[in-house]
Amino acid sequence: MANDKPEPKRPLIRVSDFDFYYGEKQALFDINMDMKENEVTAFIGPSGCGKSTLLRCINRMNDLVEVARIGRGKIEVNGADIYDPRVDTIELRKRVGMVFQKSNPFPKSIYENVIYGLRIQGINKKPVLDEAVERCLKGAALWDEVKDRLDTSGLSLSGGQQQRLCIARALAVEPDILLMDEPCSALDPVATAKVEELIHSLKNDYTIVIVTHNMQQAARVSDKTAFFYLGKLIEMAKTDEIFMSPKNEQTEAYISGRFG
Amino acid sequence: MSATATLRKERPVEGLGFHKKPSKAKSTERAVFWLFRLGTYFILLCASVIFLTIIFKGSQTVFQSSFPFVNVEFLTEAPQTLHVFEYEGEKYELSDNNFRAFEAERGVEIKTDTYAYSGGGIWPCIVGTVLLVVGAMTIALTLGVLSAIFLSEYSKPGKILNAIRLSILNLAGVPSVVFGIFGLGFFVLAGPIFSFSPFEGYDFQFWPLPIYFGFAGWNVSLLAGCFTLAFMVLPIVISASEESLRAIPQGLREASLALGASKWTAIRTNVLPYAMPGILTSSIIGVARVAGETAPIMFTAAYAMRDQLPWEGLEKWSDFFFQGVMALPYHIYVVSAKIPQNEYTERMQYGTAFVFLVIVAGIALASILLRIRMRKKYRW
């Protein structure tokens, strides 16, 4: 993967000895991994392997699940433990944006969708908002398609456009990290290609973690790939290495399509 | 093969027997079908008889054949005594005010038959009912939506939550007269009072502020009635609000939170606005109940007769809430059960019932229109 920035990059997200439970059921076992700045990391693995769970731990979305709790270990973002009781989850989620599997634009206009994150911070100056809308929609490669109908409902867009609107909405908050939970699973191939292109261009400014079921997608968009199985991190390496010469048997079996 | 052949032989040739005498199953089917149909028709019949009677008899009171076609006096005056008399060969039926004017105009004194509450109109009752409905629904929606948000968005499942749900469920089953008694004891006789001057029964002063506090009761008042009615419809409002909140996709909450919204911001901006149409729709049922119940206001808010309208003769603004009012359902009760019956009182009963139905239908219509407008604004 061509990248202008010099190696080595410092880890922006560091997961160490991380155990996670849903009630009595342990969902993640002793996860250790680093995700570096301006890299795209893909989480792959069969359904129920914990990849989405880990992703949702990084911005503490799992707080919404009543029975969820961490057992051991920690996740650090930019050197700070995000499960420290002093952490303000609101600030955390501003720094760590998220795009969901099912595109979920608000039932508001495209314009209001993009600036939602700014409005709730009390930013109401029209020039600032206008600028943000144009910048974020351009950033999400959606501007040309919607610039003439910013006041129509976000729900009037096609599935792929909706997903890019959700990405634009996440960009408006100016996060450092973008978490994507199977962002293309509900999209057709053309829309998927657009979102993948977008991920490529976003890499220069953001650190991206993407969960995907689609191994070709992981191969296409990511710098590093992590393979999960049954709640354990089996193998994590440069994407080329994982797909060309996986060290672990299970990884190889999954990638070659023998299970999963 | 042979069995089939035998069967064939027994069957009549013509039409393969389809048109022969109906089988037992067929006639049972038909009987049961008619039973269901008759049951439905019977309900329809009852409903039509009730509505048509009220509309037919009531419209005779509310409308008239000459201009302005609506009985203005009935809609704008307070109930009065009806005077029935003959004067110079003509028969007159005049309400008290008109009768006095009639006498003064001609400078005579006439002996009449009088019928209590059978003249004048029901304007104070309309005003009172509207005030009670607006007040009670404001209180019920505020409390109901607040607790629904707590229950469905914030609370954690457990024993306490189950206990709360159980008590709300029980509240829904309490007969309305029990709410009346509750209101009498809790609000009318022992409602909390804040005052700038010491009053009889005060217990406590917020020293050094000149504010006094005590459970001196609210008397028979609009406020006591509104609270009693509000408590009565709270279960409806709470369960309706909870259902509407639950119907909002979880994705909207998650998306807001992921964009740095606090839980309350997410609820305020992306849950409540979309739940509001549903909450309003289901509270229409509550409106009809609040407007219609007699028992809860009998002891807490309703006067059989009051000359002044609620905004007349107030010494200070707070008096507005601490006065009793007349109300349509209680007025129907009074003119139907508390005074001697005759042809003149019957007109009042049906006239009042008719206006009452129209008002309840009007409020329901307004809620529906509001809901449609909100749905258009927030569509997903």
- Asked whether residue B87 falls in the same domain as residue B153, the answer is no
Report the pLDDT averaged over residues B84-109.
Answer: 84
The answer to whether B380 contacts A107, with C-beta atoms less than 8 Å apart, is yes
Query: Has residue A1 got a pLDDT over 50?
Result: no
pLDDT computed for residue A210 by the predictor = 94
Q: How many CB pairs under 8 A join A and B?
A: 68
User: What's the CA gap between B126 and B129, in Å, rounded?
Assistant: 5
Work out the minimum CA distance from A107 to partner chain B, whole angstroms: 5
φ, ψ at A77 (rounded to 5°): -115, 120
Helix, strand, coil share of chain A (percent; to 5): 40, 25, 35
Per-residue pLDDT band at B227 (split at 50, 70, 90): very high
- Do residues B299 and B188 touch, judged by C-beta distance below 8 A? yes
Question: Residue B298 sits in a domain of what CATH number?
Answer: 1.10.3720.10
Q: Which two tokens stand for residue A62?
A: 């799992």
Work out the minimum CA distance from B252 to partner chain A, whole angstroms: 7
The answer to whether B379 contacts A107, with C-beta atoms less than 8 Å apart, is yes
Per-residue pLDDT band at B380 (split at 50, 70, 90): low
Give SS3 for A104: coil
pTM of the full structure? 0.78
How many domains are contained in chain B? 2
Put the strands of the sheet holding B204-205 in their side by side order: B193-195, B212-214, B204-205
Where do the DSSP E strands lie in chain B? 79-87, 90-95, 113-120, 193-195, 204-205, 212-214
User: What's the CA gap between B255 and A112, in Å, rounded?
Assistant: 14
Give SS3 for A125: coil
Is B199 part of a structural domain of the chain? yes
Strand A207-211 relative to strand A177-181: parallel, antiparallel, unpaired?
Answer: parallel
- Asked whether residue B148 falls in the same domain as residue B228, the answer is yes
ipTM of the complex: 0.87
Instruction: Pick from B152, B154, B259, B380 the residue to mutate for testing the A interface (most A CBs within 10 Å).
Output: B259
Is B270 part of a structural domain of the chain? yes
Per-residue pLDDT band at B19 (split at 50, 70, 90): low
Beta bridge partner(s), residue A251: none
The answer to whether B254 contacts A107, with C-beta atoms less than 8 Å apart, is no
The answer to whether B258 contacts A94, with C-beta atoms less than 8 Å apart, is no
Report the percentage of chain A scoring pLDDT > 90.
Answer: 48
Work out the minimum CA distance from B370 to partner chain A, whole angstroms: 19
Q: Spell out which residues of chain A touch residue B268, defining contact as CB-CB under 8 Å.
A: none
User: What's the CA gap between A154 and A190, in Å, rounded?
Assistant: 20
Q: Spell out which residues of chain A touch residue B252, defining contact as CB-CB under 8 Å.
A: 104, 106
The answer to whether A106 contacts B257, with C-beta atoms less than 8 Å apart, is no
- Asked whether residue B112 falls in the same domain as residue B159, the answer is no
DSSP structural state of residue A109: B
User: What's the CA gap between B150 and A119, in Å, rounded?
Assistant: 25
Nearest CA in chain A to B273: A107
The answer to whether B258 contacts A97, with C-beta atoms less than 8 Å apart, is yes
The answer to whether B249 contacts A169, with C-beta atoms less than 8 Å apart, is no
Residues 86-105 of B with CB under 8 A from A: none
**pLDDT (tens digit, 9 = 90+) per residue, B32-53?**
999 999 999 999 999 999 999 9
Neighbours of A249 (CB within 10 A): 10
Nearest CA in chain B to A174: B259
Q: Which two tokens stand for residue A247?
A: 């060290």
Q: Please measure the distance between the N-terminal and C-terminal CA atoms of chain A and give it in whole angstroms.
A: 26
Residue whose pair of structure tokens reads 């709640």 in the numeric block: A231
**End of a domain among B89, B104, B119?**
B119
Prior bond to B310 cis, omega within 30?
Answer: no
- Sorted by sequence, the CB contacts under 8 Å of residue B321 that are 6+ apart come out as B221, B222, B223
- Do residues A155 and A162 touch, judged by C-beta distance below 8 A? yes
- Asked whether residue B204 falls in the same domain as residue B92, the answer is no
Is B36 part of a structural domain of the chain? no
Residues 235-264 of B with CB under 8 A from A: 249, 251-262
Q: Which two tokens stand for residue B11?
A: 């069957």
User: What's the CA gap between B160 and A65, in Å, rounded?
Assistant: 19
Residue ranges making up the domain that contains B103: 81-119
Is B26 part of a structural domain of the chain? no
